[in-house]
């Protein structure tokens, strides 16, 4: 459930009318609902009630500080993968002891920043990284709490570009080598082993791959304890999928996911962490765009929008489907048309949908891309020198621009001319 619903024939975000926001902010823009973000965080938090846990929002999904603060104020932890994400989480008021640091390529500078600023744990992904972290910790006179991310060799049954848990993927250490890697970690004076980490992919639409991975983690917990390691925390990653269409096949709910976690891992006495990103932010955001032109091709009608692939890359990059709905509700029973919905960028890949059935559109109409809150704004670029589009957050009937559209001067002035080109 989200909070983008029609009321009196026009689309609202909570109690704010989207056409009004569009008139103020200008299109295209991203629009998020605080109530939906809150609801989604609580679903996970409640699903894990009864066991010691922390829901660490995966900052990469949508990293605006207003979003982080909305979630942080509810008690969320954060999963970060770069110095930039760490700094954002801290700037949004999240204390270091609620931040976990993931990623296969943490640099010594990033480790230094997190160790100095405060960190809950590092999820370490290789022996060389472990060696580097140990050196940084010793240099700072600190002890870095770590889990080791294991690769359980499980097929997440999702898009190949976002599956991470097969042995051929670059993530984690093979679970078959876990014992020797933990033995190595235990000898390092700058590290304190506290648990195990696993993350098998994103947009999973079945529980079974999670279950397979978590059963392996349960076995590994016992083995490592027998080896003398203190395993007190299990980080289970993110990945639970969301419905991108309003059809019947919906991915499992957080309650079902939580129940499965309790069943597979609940009796180990470990604190559980999860790192959901998409499920919290995805359906809490829409992309609002305007039709610039309607154009007739030889055998098809093109809808040319003012949003493009640089604003929302998911369709071009993963053949991802986003529902696109008119902001002004179509009259009941009106005949649908088939459209190719495209952006203005000069390449054919800048196509959001082909032969999409929609109520008739005309130039000037506003449309909303649903499920655009996660991996939308964060993956945007300035390709074609198009400014990054604004982000707006709604709470009740209030709204605020939480990232303004840069001016063309802002963008162009970031370039500097070398002396030999100065006039």
What residue has token string 């091709």? 297
Closer residue to ligand LLP, CB minimum distance, 77 or 239: 239
SS3 356: strand
- Torsion region of 422: left, alpha or beta (phi above 0 gives left; psi -120 to 50 gives alpha): beta
- Taking the complex as a whole, the smallest distance from the CB of residue 309 to ligand LLP amounts, in Å, to 13
The stretch near ligand LLP (CB under 6 A) out of 28-36, 199-207, 380-388, 414-422 is: 199-207
Asked whether position 162 contacts ligand LLP by CB under 6 A, the answer is yes
The answer to whether 148 touches 122, Cβ cutoff 8 Å, is no
Residues 241-300 that bind ligand LLP (CB under 6 A): 275-279
Return the residue matching tokens 């809490």: 284
- Interface with ligand LLP, residue 151, by CB under 6 A: no
229 binds ligand LLP (CB under 6 A): no
User: Considering beta carbons, is residue 56 or 185 the nearer one to ligand LLP?
Assistant: 56
Shortest distance (Å) from residue 61 CB to ligand LLP: 5
- Contact 198/152 with Cβ under 8 angstroms? yes
SS3 230: coil
Shortest reach from residue 162's CB to ligand LLP, in Å: 5
The CA-based dihedral angle spanning residues 164, 170, 174, 177, taken in that order and rounded to the nearest 10 degrees: -160
Q: Which is nearer to ligand LLP, 240 or 358 (CB)?
A: 240
Minimum gap (Å) between residue 297 Cβ and ligand LLP: 29
| N-to-C CA span, the chain | 58
Which residue, 27 or 123, is less far from ligand LLP as judged by CB?
123
Of 16, 35, 37, 58, the one binding ligand LLP (CB under 6 A) is 58
Contact with ligand LLP (CB under 6 A): which of 41, 352, 375, 399?
375
- Contacting residue, 72, 238, 251, 285, with ligand LLP by CB under 6 A: 238
Nearer to ligand LLP, 239 or 343 (CB): 239
- Whether 223 contacts 181, CB under 8 Å: no
Nearer to ligand LLP, 322 or 339 (CB): 322
Collect all residues with Cβ–Cβ distance below 8 Å to 384 and sequence separation of at least 6. 308, 310, 344, 345, 346
- When binding is defined by CB under 6 A, the residue of 165, 172, 209, 237 that contacts ligand LLP is 237
CA angle 134/234/118 to nearest 5° reads: 45
Minimum CB separation of residue 375 from ligand LLP in Å reads 3
- Greatest alpha-carbon pair distance for the chain in Å reads 72
Specify whether 346 is catalytic.
yes
- Sequence-distant (6+) residues with CB within 8 A of 23 are none
As a whole number of angstroms, the distance between CA 261 and CA 271 comes to: 12
Catalytic residue among 346, 362, 417, 421: 346
- CA torsion angle 62 66 71 76 (round to 10): 80
Which pairing describes strands 99-101 and 121-124: parallel, antiparallel, or unpaired? parallel
- For the annotated catalytic residues, the residue numbers are 346
Q: Where do contacts with ligand LLP occur on this chain (CB under 6 A)?
A: 58, 61, 79, 102, 162, 199, 202-203, 237-239, 275-279, 314, 318, 374-375
């Amino acid at each position: 459930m989200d909070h983008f619903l029609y009321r009196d024939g026009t689309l609202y975000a909570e109690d704010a009318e989207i056409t009004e926001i569009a008139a103020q902010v200008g299109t295209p823009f991203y629009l998020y609902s605080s109530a939906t973000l809150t609801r989604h965080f609580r679903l996970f938090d409640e699903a894990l009630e009864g066991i010691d846990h922390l829901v660490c929002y995966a900052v990469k999904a949508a990293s605006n500080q207003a979003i982080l603060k909305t979630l942080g104020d509810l008690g969320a932890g954060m999963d970060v993968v770069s110095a930039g994400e760490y700094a954002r989480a801290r700037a949004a008021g999240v204390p270091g002891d609620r931040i976990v640091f993931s990623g296969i390529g943490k640099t010594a500078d990033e480790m230094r920043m997190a160790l100095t600023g405060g960190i809950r744990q590092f999820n370490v992904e290789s022996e060389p990284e472990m060696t580097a972290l140990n050196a940084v910790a010793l240099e700072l006179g600190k002890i870095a709490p770590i889990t080791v991310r294991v690769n359980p060799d499980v097929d997440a049954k999702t898009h190949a570009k976002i599956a991470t848990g097969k042995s051929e993927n670059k993530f984690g250490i093979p679970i078959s080598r876990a014992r020797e890697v933990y033995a190595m970690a235990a000898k390092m004076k700058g590290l304190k082993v506290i648990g195990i980490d696993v993350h098998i992919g994103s947009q999973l639409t079945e529980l079974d791959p999670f279950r397979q991975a978590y059963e392996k983690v349960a076995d590994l917990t016992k083995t490592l304890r027998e080896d003398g390691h203190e395993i007190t925390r299990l980080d289970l990653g993110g990945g639970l999928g969301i419905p991108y269409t309003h059809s019947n096949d919906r991915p499992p709910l957080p309650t079902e996911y939580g129940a499965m976690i309790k069943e597979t891992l609940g009796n180990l006495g470990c604190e559980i962490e999860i790192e959901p990103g998409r499920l919290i932010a995805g359906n809490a955001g829409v992309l609002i765009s305007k039709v610039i032109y309607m154009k007739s091709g030889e055998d098809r009608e093109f809808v040319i929008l003012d949003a493009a692939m640089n604003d929302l890359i998911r369709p071009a990059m993963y053949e991802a489907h986003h529902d696109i709905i008119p902001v002004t509700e179509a009259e009941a029973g009106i005949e649908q048309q088939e459209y190719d919905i495209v952006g203005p960028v000069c390449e054919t890949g800048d196509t959001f949908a082909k032969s999409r059935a929609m109520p008739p559109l005309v130039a000037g109409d506003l449309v909303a891309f649903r499920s655009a809150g996660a991996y939308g704004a964060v993956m945007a670029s300035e390709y074609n020198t198009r400014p990054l589009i604004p982000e707006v957050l709604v709470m009740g009937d209030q709204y605020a621009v939480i990232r303004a559209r840069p001016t063309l001067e802002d963008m162009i002035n970031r370039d500097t001319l070398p002396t030999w080109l100065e006039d």
